[in-house]
Chain A
Amino acid sequence: MYDGGKIVAGLVVFLVLVTVPVWLNALAGGTPRAPELELPRDESRCVEPAAVMRATHMELLDTWRDSVVRSDDRFFTLEDGRRVERSLSRTCLGCHDRKDAFCDRCHDYLAVSPYCWDCHVIPEGGTALAAAGGGVR
């Protein structure tokens, strides 16, 4: 082989790069687990079934935002009679009051970083805010 040494070295580099996930995970050790989410203690239902929420909550938030800022339509009623305010900080974080143990755990697991919090507040003790007039009733 002409330049055999260089070609074999190149092949080794290629194989190492392609298998990055295998050996990086092996080096990191431990079996990977899906994130553990802290669910609201005093509530049992989300605004939609959990499976739907898991996949489509960002689209729901998008439609909520459009309803609020474009048609000033802030409230709606769920099939089970609960009245819901379309609000990111007051409603979602009213129930999921620990963002870092719910939203963030999932988002960090998948390297999602919503920029919403550039403007929206992360309430401390969301239930208090919900009691002050917003959220779900």
Chain B
Amino acid sequence: MRAWSALAIVVVLLGVAWVASGTGGGQAVIGTVIPYLAVALFLAGMVARVIGWARSPVPFRITTTCGQQRSLPWIPSATLDNPHTGWGAVRRMVLEVLLFRSLFRNTRSELRPTERLVYESDKVLWVAALAFHWSFLVILLRHLRFFLEPIPRLVPLLETVDGFFQLTVPTLFLTDALIVAALLYLLGRRVLNVQLRYLSLAADYFPLFVLLTIATTGILMRYVTKVDLVGAKELAMGLVTFHPVVPQGIGTLFFVHLFFVSVLFAYFPFSKLVHMGGVFLSPTRNLANNNRARRHVSPWNPEVKVHTYEQWEEEFRDKLVAAGIPLDKE
């Protein structure tokens, strides 16, 4: 199974991070140099990838259409599933990005004991994907408390909603439980389902293991082996104000967490995770279906030399007149 090689890499990284986090020098590197490098790679990599996509020509609109195309005014058209205007495409994109509308149509095929192949709707993947991505977003936004001073009102608001049940001290955040559950489902799906296991590459498992490590170390820090959060915030503020500091005695686990976050950021643009930017540039989603209404000229059409009837008539005018053939232009 290709999961093993991904797991091996993560275990090695964990070992390196763990040993380095135990030493002062290691903490200085993980707390200053590595985050800067990772973010620089992330930003430059993302920009390069998006520019690369932007430079590929899209001469013809290849939108996926899941409803009636717009034609005659009295035939109702599916403006969301087959948008014919830019704004229609925007509405479709918003729903795609926020609610993963195309994943909602996910199906799965299965060979039943009766030897019949059946296709059925599979909403679990959609639910797990939503749970993961939204939890991730909420966690990232809540983390702004480490990076901003003063802290925007949004953060306590999110904490109140997220800690709604007021279980445990410190209060349990629902997104912490959700993100782990969702990640375990996404991993389990690849490991347990035979077809998916056959399709999965190490590059499919690696991000899952990295994310699980980040979530686990974060959760351990909050609920089990505590770290000094004042120190953690000083370090984070130092990074974003470009006066990096590494306070003493924050705790080993914090540096392991930070190291894996850096790994994730550095890896992001070079992996399937770029779909974060890619979804916005999917030509099957982000274009209006106006292929018939408008003329789209391919940019690599060779220049065709044309000789119109008008020009031809002009060229043979005397001969045509002599032969008594009627002319368009007298």
Interface residues of A (CB under 8 A from B): 1-4, 7-8, 10-11, 14-15, 18, 20-22, 24-26, 28, 31-32, 34-35, 51, 54-56, 58-59, 61-62, 106, 108-113, 115
Contact = CB atoms under 8 A, between A and B. Distances in A.
Interface of B: 42-43, 46-47, 50-51, 54-55, 57-58, 144-152, 155-156, 159-160, 166, 169-171, 226-230, 233-234, 237, 240-243, 249, 251, 277, 280-281
A2 B54 contact: yes
Contacts of B171: 115
Given A1-B55, A3-B54, 5 more contacts: A4-B54, A14-B277, A18-B43, A25-B237, A55-B226
A115 B229 CA distance: 19
A3 B283 CA distance: 11
B294 to A, nearest CB: 14
A24 to B, nearest CB: 6
Contacts of A62: 169
A59 B226 contact: yes
A22 B238 CA distance: 10
9 contacts: A3-B54, A3-B58, A14-B277, A24-B148, A26-B241, A31-B243, A58-B169, A109-B233, A115-B166
Contacts of A51: 228, 249
B229 A110 contact: yes
A113 B159 contact: yes
A25 B241 CA distance: 7
Given A25-B240, A55-B227, A2 B58 contact: yes
A2 B51 CA distance: 11
A31 B241 contact: yes
B166 A111 contact: no
A113 B158 CA distance: 12
B269 to A, nearest CB: 12
Q: By DSSP majority rule, is chain B's interface helix, strand, loop, or mixed?
A: helix
A109 to B, nearest CB: 7
A10 B241 CA distance: 25
A111 B173 CA distance: 14
B169 A10 contact: no
Contacts of B159: 111, 113
Nearest to B154: A111
Contact of A55 (B237, B242, B251): B251
Given A7-B50, A31-B241, A54-B228, A110 B58 contact: no
A56 B229 CA distance: 11
A18 B140 CA distance: 11
B230 to A, nearest CB: 5
B145 A110 contact: yes
B237 A32 contact: yes
B54 A54 contact: no
B152 to A, nearest CB: 8
A31 B229 CA distance: 18
Contacts of A34: 230, 233-234
B309 to A, nearest CB: 34
A24 B228 CA distance: 24
A56 B42 CA distance: 35
A106 B230 contact: yes
A112 to B, nearest CB: 8
A70 to B, nearest CB: 15
A58 to B, nearest CB: 5
Contacts of B151: 108, 111
